[in-house]
Structure formats: structure tokens, C-alpha cells
Amino acid sequence: MDVLWAPWRMQYIKAPKEGGPACLFCDKLENVRDRENLVLFRSSHTFVVMNPYPYNNGHLMVLPYQHVPTLEDLGDEVLLDFMKVTRYSLDALKKAFMPEGFNVGINFGKVAGAGLGEHLHLHIVPRWGGDASFMTVVGEVRVIPEHIMTTYDTLFCVFNPQHEAKK
């Protein structure tokens, strides 16, 4: 039997589920420790956070500040900001990493795969030819080639060109 050591997953496993914060995303939003929480950008109605358990380098989530489960629950002003920030995120990823494509999607409801379905969030996963290499197919292992905090620092500078990376 092959064993894959993934000690970074323990933080997720041990994280409070019941009785913890009402919403993981709202907790990140209210907290000012953006680097620690992987928050890259805040607009008037929307924020961008890196996925701490990414499918690929630069896996982002775009979220409205408003705690709602679906797009239908957003007013026009918030929805427009949500889409503009999604576009801004795609541009930032292009500048930082030159991906060859993207997977962009929203899961509505638990049966659709929404692990945190109470707070609307859109996933952006940059893609490159060969990023699902033999390691994924044969070894059932995903290779993330850069440490998440290095990726954060790179993206923070692109999202916020007026600031240096928060180190």
C-alpha cells in the first residue's frame, strides 16, 4: 500500500466544525489577518481568498461579503461587483502565472458539491497543459509546485500593485 503524507491537512481536519464560527468565510472577512487567512483582495462588496487546499497553484475563491447561498440572493450592485472582481482575478492570474486556461465554477447546494454551501463562492482554478500529469493519473497524487505562501506573495503584489507583499 502506498502512503501519501499530507500533514497540512490536519489543520483542516482538526478545525472546529460544530460550535465554531458561524461561517468560515465570514470569519476570514471580519478578521484583519489577511495574509494568515490568504485574503488577497477586498472591493466594496466582494473579496478574494486563496483556497488553502488548492487543486492547482493560484486556486482562488471569489466571495461576496454578504452571507447568501445563491446568486439570486445578490442585488444587482453586489452581483456586478462580484463579476468584476472575478474578471480582475482572472487578469491577475494571467499576469502572475500565464495559465493556458481556467476552470471557473460555482456549486449550489451540497448535492452539487458545495462543501460550504451557505456562503456563495466562485472557484477559479488556473490550468496548464500537463498539470494533470501521470502523478495524478497513476499515483492519484496532485503535485503543487510552489509553496502556498510564495503564491500568496506573488498574487498579493499583482492584486495590490500599490503595496509590497505582506511578509
- Could you give the residue numbers annotated as active site? 121
102 CB contacts (<8 Å, ≥6 apart)? 90, 93, 124, 125, 126, 127
Compute the C-alpha angle 167/160/107, nearest 5°. Answer: 100
At 153 the three-state DSSP class reads helix
Cell numbers 502565472: residue: 97
Compute the C-alpha angle 148/65/163, nearest 5°. Answer: 50
At 97 the three-state DSSP class reads helix
163 CB contacts (<8 Å, ≥6 apart)? 156, 157
Are 124 and 59 in contact by the 8 Å Cβ rule? The answer is yes
Give the span between the Cα atoms of 167 and 157, in whole angstroms.
11
